């Protein structure tokens, strides 16, 4: 349960219709198996003690009584076990029968949640046997004179994990316009369990999966769906055991259909709580709810879930291409509006032959096309300096000409040397002044050309550089509109590749592919034997790591120790723990110290769920203290060396 992870299980046992004793034995056996697998929340299907397909046998006193006997047997079986178990059974109350989910833990029955929505259409005729459940809890008397609550407004809360609150609903409840899980979530439930007996017909599995995905996303919750399977009557329909576990719109586990078994998933309760906390429209209301506490001993939850090393980049090729097209459109539409509003028919872009300026040029060309403007109004300016290599220079020249922009070449060498002479800077001293003087000279040139032509400077810097402060203040940090401002470096690469893959122009395509193959560098230090000597990732660290850190700091709000744990899983085949920890320290130091650059960013379009605009998503004081985060990293030093 460290870092908020709990292991859950959805179980479909073998059943015999109307044989509670056999079913009780199967439930106990599968409970043992699921808990041996580490699950602390175990969910069985609807009416699992009797079988869902008993029909009019549900009216039989004997079946009702034997089902209750087996309930107590299963409850006793939870004694000494760590966690909570949900099973389904018919329960009589005040002379009426209810389809219920019973919550069991520590050898006792905690409560009953009745099914709210009773289907009586098509092949379903539950209304013949069951009453809709009551919202306001009533008390059901159990042997020994103890009463336990029954009603839909029940939450089951872990005593050692306050953020784990569980609400239950049953099958059809989810398929209705207003599922009970909505109220559960607003009352604080971070995990919803659904005991189901959903039969199969063609295409229903797709709809079922979509329901679970979307409900978990809408409610920002974990969702465990356990469905009936083999053993139920096939008189008219077939049940497949299509179990699902979801978390905030993402399917964590899905059972193969027509095979009874157990699926597991690790749900991040802390992350769900964090997402709700930051969403101002998620308004809570726990009116009328009763909370039942169950014991949960803290245990380690080994993570088997996939941890994406590139959270900004879709893994699926089709989804990735769709994302790239969408982002390019957002960038171009943002620039289009700005050009239209200002009346500018000229855009100035500094082209270095690197990835970021390449993307900015491609976006600018797309915006001009949308406006029906001649691409000659795009001024592609290459500004060779002390660190420019033939490779990047040649690529910049070819790219500008191939795109159809107006080519300008302005060397900055003599202007910077004059500046060095003016301020008394030794040209042989390759310090921050040496580097930043070049960056600011380039920005001045671009701004002045924009003034000459009545246009605007298009910013090229990406979000990863903004996170690290890897930009010269009032140099490449500044523009009139920053089209890449919310695009992380790992995604910039895919955007350029996508553009290259869709080109018919073979010359431009070859240039773009070579840009993709060029090391990331500001080229502010002299080359070594004609090759780039200043490689950004050697200085500040790998961008794939920094983008991983950035995503989980800003989007997930995770602590350093949790991010370190996840990075160790995501990059286990790429970096050792010591290397990850080293660059994490760099990230946090720079992220806090460089906020002043982000506090005065030019306008730029947001393209994803993470952005660092001081006017939108990220409002952080420029003088915030990083000690709290760096101290936790220091505490991890031993683990990093292990």
Q: Which helix (H) or strand (E) holds 586?
A: helix 577-593
Cα–Cα distance measured from residue 266 to residue 299, given in angstroms and rounded to the nearest whole number: 13
Residue 413 class from Cβ within 10 Å (0-12 exposed, 13-18 middle, 19+ buried)? middle
Is 171 a residue of the active site? Answer: yes
Contact 252, 246 (CB under 8 A): yes
Mapped onto helix, strand or coil, the DSSP state of residue 184 is helix
Cα–Cα distance measured from residue 146 to residue 72, given in angstroms and rounded to the nearest whole number: 13
The 10 Å CB-count burial string (b at 16+, else e) for 298-330 is eeebebebebebbbbbbeeeeebbebbeebbeb
Closest to 28 measured CA to CA, from 44, 52, 39: 44
Is 344 a residue of the active site? Answer: no
* DSSP state for residue 216 in the 8-state scheme: H
Q: Supply φ then ψ for residue 266, to 5 degrees.
A: -105, 115
Contact 359, 487 (CB under 8 A): yes
Q: Among 54, 117, 157, 171, which one carries the catalytic annotation?
A: 171
Closest to 346 measured CA to CA, from 366, 381, 376: 376
Is 135 a residue of the active site? Answer: no
Handedness of CA 144, 145, 151, 155 (dihedral sign): negative
Mapped onto helix, strand or coil, the DSSP state of residue 119 is coil
Q: Among 46, 169, 232, 254, which one carries the catalytic annotation?
A: 46
Q: Among 68, 115, 336, 577, which one carries the catalytic annotation?
A: 115
The two three-digit tokens of residue 260, written as one number: 């009874």
Neighbours of 1 (CB within 10 A): 20
* DSSP state for residue 266 in the 8-state scheme: E
Cα-based distances in Å from 439 to 100, 436, 444: 69, 5, 9
CA angle 156, 240, 254 (to 5 degrees): 60
Closest to 311 measured CA to CA, from 302, 300, 320: 320
| DSSP line for 371-426 | HT--GGGEEEEE---TT--HHHHHHHHHHHHHHTPEEEE---HHHHHHHHHHHT--
Residue 132 class from Cβ within 10 Å (0-12 exposed, 13-18 middle, 19+ buried)? middle
Task: Give the largest Cα separation in the chain, rounded.
Answer: 101
Relative orientation angle of helices 543-550 and 560-570, to the nearest 10 degrees: 130
Helix (H), strand (E), coil (C) string for 38-63: CCCEEECCCCCCCCCCCHHHHHCHHH
Residue numbers annotated as active site: 46, 115, 171
């Amino acid at each position: 349960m460290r870092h908020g992870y709990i292991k859950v299980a959805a179980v479909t046992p073998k059943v015999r219709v109307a044989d509670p004793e056999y079913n009780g034995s199967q439930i106990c056996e599968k409970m043992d198996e699921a808990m041996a697998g580490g699950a602390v929340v175990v969910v069985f299907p609807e009416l699992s003690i009797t079988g869902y397909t008993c029909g009019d046998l549900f009216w039989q006193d004997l079946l009702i009584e034997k089902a209750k006997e087996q309930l107590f047997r299963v409850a006793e079986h939870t004694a000494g076990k760590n966690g909570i178990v949900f099973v389904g059974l018919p329960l009589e109350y005040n002379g009426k029968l209810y389809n219920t989910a019973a919550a069991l833990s520590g050898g006792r029955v905690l409560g009953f949640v009745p099914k709210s929505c009773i289907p009586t259409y098509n092949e379903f005729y539950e209304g013949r046997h069951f009453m809709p459940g009551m919202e306001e809890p009533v008390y059901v008397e159990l042997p020994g004179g103890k009463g336990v609550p029954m009603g839909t407004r029940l939450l089951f809360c872990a005593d050692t994990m306050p953020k784990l609150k569980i609400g239950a609903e049953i099958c059809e409840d989810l398929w209705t316009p207003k599922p009970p899980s909505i109220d559960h979530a607003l009352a604080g439930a971070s995990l919803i369990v659904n005991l189901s007996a959903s039969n199969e017909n063609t295409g229903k599995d797709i709809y079922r999966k979509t329901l679970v995905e979307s409900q978990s996303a809408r409610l920002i919750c974990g969702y465990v769906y356990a469905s009936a399977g083999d053993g139920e009557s096939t008189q008219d329909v077939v049940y497949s055991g299509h179990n699902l576990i979801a978390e905030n719109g993402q399917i964590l586990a899905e059972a193969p259909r027509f095979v009874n078994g157990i699926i597991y998933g690790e749900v991040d309760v802390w992350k769900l709580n964090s997402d709700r906390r930051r969403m101002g429209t998620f308004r809570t209301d726990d009116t009328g709810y009763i909370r039942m506490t169950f014991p949960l001993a803290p245990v380690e939850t080994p993570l088997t879930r996939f941890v994406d090393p590139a959270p900004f980049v879709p893994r699926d090729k089709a989804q990735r291409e769709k994302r790239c097209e969408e982002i390019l459109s957002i960038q171009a539409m943002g620039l289009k509006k700005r050009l239209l509003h200002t009346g500018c028919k000229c855009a100035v872009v500094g082209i270095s032959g690197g990835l970021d300026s390449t993307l900015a040029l491609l976006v600018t060309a797309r915006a001009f096309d949308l406006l029906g403007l001649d691409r000659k109004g795009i001024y592609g300016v290459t500004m060779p300096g002390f660190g420019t290599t033939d490779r990047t220079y040649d690529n910049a020249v070819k790219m500008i000409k191939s795109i159809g922009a107006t080519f300008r070449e302005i060397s900055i060498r003599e202007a910077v040397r004059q500046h060095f002479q003016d301020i008394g800077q030794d040209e042989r001293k390759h310090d921050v002044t040496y580097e930043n003087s070049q960056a600011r000279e380039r920005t001045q040139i671009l701004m002045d050309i924009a003034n000459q032509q009545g246009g605007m400077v298009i910013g090229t810097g990406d979000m990863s550089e903004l996170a690290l402060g890897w930009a010269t203040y009032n140099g490449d940090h500044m523009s009139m509109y920053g089209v890449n401002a919310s695009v992380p470096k790992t995604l910039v690469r895919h955007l350029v590749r996508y553009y290259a893959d869709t080109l018919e122009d073979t010359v431009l395509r070859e240039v773009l592919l070579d840009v993709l193959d060029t090391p990331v560098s500001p080229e502010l230090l002299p080359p070594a034997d004609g090759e780039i000597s200043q490689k950004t990732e050697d200085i500040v660290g790998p961008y794939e790591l920094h983008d991983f850190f950035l995503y989980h700091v800003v989007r997930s709000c995770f602590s350093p120790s949790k991010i370190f744990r996840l990075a160790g899983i995501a990059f286990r085949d790429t970096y050792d723990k010591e290397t990850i920890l080293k660059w994490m320290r760099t990230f946090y130091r720079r992220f806090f110290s460089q906020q002043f650059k982000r506090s005065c960013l030019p306008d730029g379009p947001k393209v994803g769920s993470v952005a660092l605009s001081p006017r939108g998503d990220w409002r952080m004081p420029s003088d915030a203290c990083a000690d709290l985060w760096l101290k936790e990293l220091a505490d991890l030093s031993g683990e990093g060396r292990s």
